Amino acid sequence: MKLNRRSALGLALSCGMAWATSGWAQTYPERTVTLVVPFAAGGSTDLVARVLAASMSKDLGQQVIVENVAGAGGNLGAGQVARAEPDGYTILMGTVATHALNPLMLKTKPYDPQKDFAPVSLLVLVPNVLMVNPELPVNSVQELVDLLKANPDKYSYASSGNGTPLHLSGELFKSMAGVEMQHIPYKGAGPALNDVIGNQVPIMFDNLPSSSSHIKAKTLKGLGVTTKERASSFKELPSIDETVKGYETYTWNALFAPAGTPPENVARLNKAALAALSDPDVKARMGEFSATIVGSTPEELGKHVQAEMAKWEPIVKSVGVTLD
């Protein structure tokens, strides 16, 4: 079969493009990958990210470095990744805050949680925990409810910031238990924990991973976990649902890339994430702070985000939380 000059040129270009695409798919990543954590260092999301990044680095053959971009309840870091070059070299450790709560509460939306991101993998589910300073004269969820009802508006609770899952955990508790507390937002779990330990604020909702060491050291008193079931690493802690029926909140961590990231790069990141989650050392670390390993396909994470927004929307409306 004879080819004219134009057909031959077209065939050559097609073959070249196919070769180049194959080469890109095989060589990614060729340099360091930055994993943006949209919260301060030391919190639950940061802990999960650092454990995962170390293991993913081995599988990818390139270093995955964690960069903390805190601010605006996670929106600053998430927005930065949404606007990043969609090449797979800047990815996000997303949470229920960045991909469900914030988009539901914010009047001005800095990004679309579904359109502006390429889902990679759901990683872990993490319980939250209700804690108090040891000087507060309560030893159970019921005793705290009784104290708050007897002293309306006298006590306050800390969280890692306005609109975070921990803030919503407190507001939902107030609504369902019929109590009043003033919310004191901080710029992350670390500074909030410091003030609760120092008894500047007596009550706090936090992620179990970042507060477990304080509970074990008895510098904070754990009253109950926010999941329906008790946490595997703290069987002695009841669930709040055992006292306040129907109460349940938790957070989750997942990997996202900017929308438009090549599917082959997303698939490579997904493979590395799933390999990390099956690493015995990673499993042990996650188990230490009761994070339940999940793992998923990109498509499953996309459906998860959609379901989480549908779940939280009526809760956000019921507690009336809006953010500028």
Instruction: DSSP for 198-214, please give it.
Output: TTSS-EEEEEHHHHHHH
pLDDT in tens, 28-57: 999 999 999 998 888 788 989 999 999 999
Q: Return the pLDDT at 201.
A: 98
Write out the two tokens for 229.
């079931």
Whole-number pLDDT of residue 22: 43
User: What is the distance between the alpha carbons of residues 139 and 270, in angstroms, rounded to a whole number?
Assistant: 43
pLDDT tens column, 272-313:
999 999 999 999 999 887 888 999 999 999 999 999 999 889
Q: Is the pLDDT of residue 68 over 60?
A: yes
For residue 102, the surrounding DSSP H or E stretch is: helix 102-105
Pair 91, 36: CB distance under 8 Å: yes
Q: Within a 10 A sphere around the Cβ of 275, how many other Cβ atoms?
A: 16
CATH code for the part of the protein at 30-125+250-319: 3.40.190.150
pLDDT at 107 over 50: yes
Return the pLDDT at 26.
57
**Global pTM value:** 0.78
Cβ atoms of 209 and 233 within 8 Å: the answer is: no
Q: Distance between CA atoms of 136 and 59, rounded to whole angstroms?
A: 47
* Cα–Cα distances in angstroms (integers) from residue 77 to residues 52, 98, 136, 194, 250, in the given order: 18, 9, 36, 24, 21
DSSP code of residue 106 = B
pLDDT band of 19, cuts 50, 70, 90: very low
Q: What is the pLDDT of residue 153?
A: 84
Q: What is the pLDDT of residue 315?
A: 80
Token digits of residue 161: 């910031």
Assess contact for 112 and 256: CB atoms under 8 A: no
Tell me, yes or no, if the two domains 30-125+250-319 and 127-242 fold the same way: yes
Q: Which residue has the higher pLDDT, 10 or 238?
A: 238
Q: Which of 100-104, 265-269, 301-305 has the lowest mean pLDDT?
A: 100-104
Which CATH class, in words, describes the domain spanning 127-242? Answer: alpha beta
Pick from 174, 215, 210, 217: which is nearest to 191 by CA?
210
CA 235/CA 212 separation, integer angstroms: 12
Domain ranges of the chain: 30-125+250-319, 127-242
Give the C-alpha separation, 209 to 169, whole Å. Answer: 16
**Model confidence over 194-246: pLDDT tens digits?**
999 999 999 999 988 888 889 999 999 999 999 988 988 888 999 999 999 99
- Is 105 a residue whose pLDDT tops 60? yes
Average pLDDT, the chain: 90
Which pLDDT belongs to residue 20? 45
